[in-house]
Structure formats: structure tokens, C-alpha cells
Amino acid sequence: MDIDQALKGAQTALPRRINFVKARKADKVLVPTGLHVKVLNPPAGGSQRNDAATSEAGGSAVALSSADADEDNLPPPPSRHLFPPESLRSLLEWREIRGAGPGLSNLGNTCFMNAVLQCLAYTPPLANACLDRTHSQGCHATGYCLYCELESHVRAVHQPKAPRAIAPRALARRLRSVSRAFRPGRQEDAHEFLIGLLQRLQEAALLPHGGEEQVGAEVAQTTELMQTFGGTLCSRLRCAVCERTSTSYEGFVDLALELRGASSVERAPRALTPPRTLTLTLTLTLTLTLIRALTLTRALTQARCAPSPPRSS
């Protein structure tokens, strides 16, 4: 079958109406065994459903309840929130259902930028925040603000009578404000653009509060951006001799996972931070340095303690 026949068949199949039939039985929550699961946004009255699913799974995934979650891995609560969590909860769902939005015109090797902008424009928390002008109402930028520009773009995309295609020229002209390595007209990496854009947006969100140096790294993770796109890595170091434990937390916006050695995406994070045994070794260079320091210290001590020669009269 050639391409023309395939396209002809697709055109006849697309206009067909699809009738959806309501399910007779409720969906069952399949809980994978051996994993600690914590429901972030359980539906109303979902506790009974989770209990039923746990009993059907043989009682192995009892971590669905908040009491059984691994709370030791959770970071300590921040001293304050720059964006209230209750306000973020109101942004998690679309307020109205609309049809497909406009496309983005390619302004010359800008497909990487268009792909990221389309994903961000249809991420409900960020899109709703932009529609509410959450950032621009309190923006403290004296010059160009990338967050305000993205906010204007998202508002244009979600207009009720938006055109079929939008040309994001303002963002394309400011590519170097995302990263100095970007060049207009050159094909770039979409992932690098996304990470750079989120970093610039985070800097703009922290500007009214004095920046990350003023609020601290812990409170900086409570912006609307980090609560939506960010996460926290927990690193725990335990001494094999005294068994004392030291725990540290680090924020992140992306994780590089190795999928080749993992049987599933859920198992890939386990390979990211496997338990390791760290041993303290003393190299030959350090040993020689210590020997020289001890020899010099002994020589200086002997020189100070040696009796002075008698003076001739």
C-alpha cells in the first residue's frame, strides 16, 4: 500500500463518530508490590477504594495510607511558603473545557522552542497561574521579564477566539535570555531549552523576595514553579562503625535516568541512587605528607628545647 492509499483510508476513518460506552464495573487500582506509594491527590471518598485495592493485592502495598509512608525520606517542612499550597491546589485542574488550541509557527529552526512552549501552555498549574496574572501583578523586574513574556504567550494561546497559528516572535528574539549558548536560527535541544527556561522563570519568581540568597534554598523550593516542576533528592550517609546517620536534601527539576538496565520506568529511579559503601583510604601521597609534617614538627621542637651554648667572657 502506497502513501496515497494510506492517507485516503485515514481521511475516511477520521470523520467517523466514536461512541463511548460507560463501564459496568469500577476500575481497580493496581498497586505494584515492593514499592512505597503515597497518593498525592486522593479523590473524595477514596480511602475505602484504596483499602479494597490493598486487600486485593495481598496486603503487600500497605503504604497507600499516609501513616505508612516512608516519612524518613521526606524533607523537613519549610519555615514559610512563597506560594501557598492551598492556592496551588486550586490551579491543578482546568476551570473549563476547551477545544484544541492554536499551533505555533516555525520561525526558523524554532521547533524545539515551540514543543516546550506547547507543553507548558497546557500544564494546568502553570497555565492557570498565567491566566490569573499571578506573576505580572507582583513583578519587580526593571527591564525585560521572561516570566511576563511567557505569561502573555499563554494568555494568547488560551483566548476563546485564538487564530489557528501563533508566531512566538517575542520569545524567539530573546532566546539568549534563556541561555547564552543559544543562537537564533540554529537548531537547539528542547530539553536544554526547558531546563534553562525553568531556571530563568524561577529567578524571576524569586526576584520580589530578594532572590535565593535572601530566602534560602529551602524556601526557594516553595514557588509555584518548583511546587509544579521541582522535586527533592534525599541523600543519607550512615557510618558503618558508629551507625550514625547524616541526611541531606537537594532540590532538582530534572533527573537523568538510565533505562537500559531497568525493566520499567518505575524501577529506573532505583538505579539512580543505589546503596553504596564508602571507605576512607589514605593514599601514599597523603602518608608522605604527614610523615614530613611530623618530622618537621619534631625538628622544631628539638631546636627549641636544646640548651643555648655558654657565652665567652
Per-residue pLDDT tens digits for 221-257: 999 999 999 988 888 888 878 888 888 888 888 888 8
For the cut 50, the answer to whether the pLDDT of residue 47 exceeds it is no
Looking at the fold, whether 135 and 199 belong to one and the same domain comes out as: yes
Looking at residue 288, what is its pLDDT? 62
For the cut 60, the answer to whether the pLDDT of residue 269 exceeds it is yes
Looking at the fold, whether 101 and 201 belong to one and the same domain comes out as: yes
Looking at residue 252, what is its pLDDT? 87
In a domain, 18, yes or no: no
Among residues 210, 226, 242, the one where a domain terminates is 226
For the cut 50, the answer to whether the pLDDT of residue 58 exceeds it is no
Q: What is the pLDDT of residues 82-116, one digit of tens each?
A: 999 999 999 999 988 888 889 999 998 999 999 99
Averaged pLDDT score across all residues of the chain: 77
Q: What is the pLDDT of residues 156-176, one digit of tens each?
A: 999 988 899 999 999 999 999
Q: What is the pLDDT of residues 64-88, one digit of tens each?
A: 333 333 556 677 888 899 999 999 9
Looking at the fold, whether 206 and 118 belong to one and the same domain comes out as: yes
Looking at the fold, whether 218 and 235 belong to one and the same domain comes out as: no
Looking at the fold, whether 152 and 39 belong to one and the same domain comes out as: no
Looking at the fold, whether 120 and 204 belong to one and the same domain comes out as: yes
For 251, residues 6+ apart whose C-beta sits below 8 A from its C-beta are 217, 220, 221, 226, 230, 231, 232, 233
In a domain, 288, yes or no: no
In a domain, 36, yes or no: yes
In a domain, 151, yes or no: yes
Domain count, the chain: 3
Predicted TM-score (pTM) of this structure: 0.64
Looking at residue 45, what is its pLDDT? 53
Whether residue 120 contacts residue 201, with contact meaning beta carbons closer than 8 Å, is answered with no
For the cut 60, the answer to whether the pLDDT of residue 32 exceeds it is no
In a domain, 280, yes or no: no
Looking at the fold, whether 39 and 163 belong to one and the same domain comes out as: no
For 26, residues 6+ apart whose C-beta sits below 8 A from its C-beta are 49
Looking at the fold, whether 190 and 235 belong to one and the same domain comes out as: no
In a domain, 307, yes or no: no
Looking at the fold, whether 222 and 240 belong to one and the same domain comes out as: no
- In angstroms, rounded to a whole number, what is the distance separating the alpha carbons of residues 11 and 6? 9
In a domain, 310, yes or no: no
Q: What is the pLDDT of residues 189-220, one digit of tens each?
A: 999 999 999 999 999 999 999 999 999 988 99
DSSP string, 275-288: ---------HHHHH
Looking at the fold, whether 107 and 184 belong to one and the same domain comes out as: yes
For the cut 50, the answer to whether the pLDDT of residue 184 exceeds it is yes
Looking at residue 299, what is its pLDDT? 65
- In angstroms, rounded to a whole number, what is the distance separating the alpha carbons of residues 37 and 68? 9
CATH number at residue 94: 3.90.70.10
The better pLDDT of the pair 311, 52 is held by: 311
Among residues 226, 261, 294, the one where a domain terminates is 226
In a domain, 277, yes or no: no
Among residues 69, 94, 126, the one where a domain terminates is 69
For the cut 60, the answer to whether the pLDDT of residue 33 exceeds it is no
Looking at the fold, whether 221 and 90 belong to one and the same domain comes out as: yes
Looking at the fold, whether 221 and 105 belong to one and the same domain comes out as: yes
Whether residue 225 contacts residue 197, with contact meaning beta carbons closer than 8 Å, is answered with no
For the cut 70, the answer to whether the pLDDT of residue 270 exceeds it is yes
Range of the domain at 162: 81-226
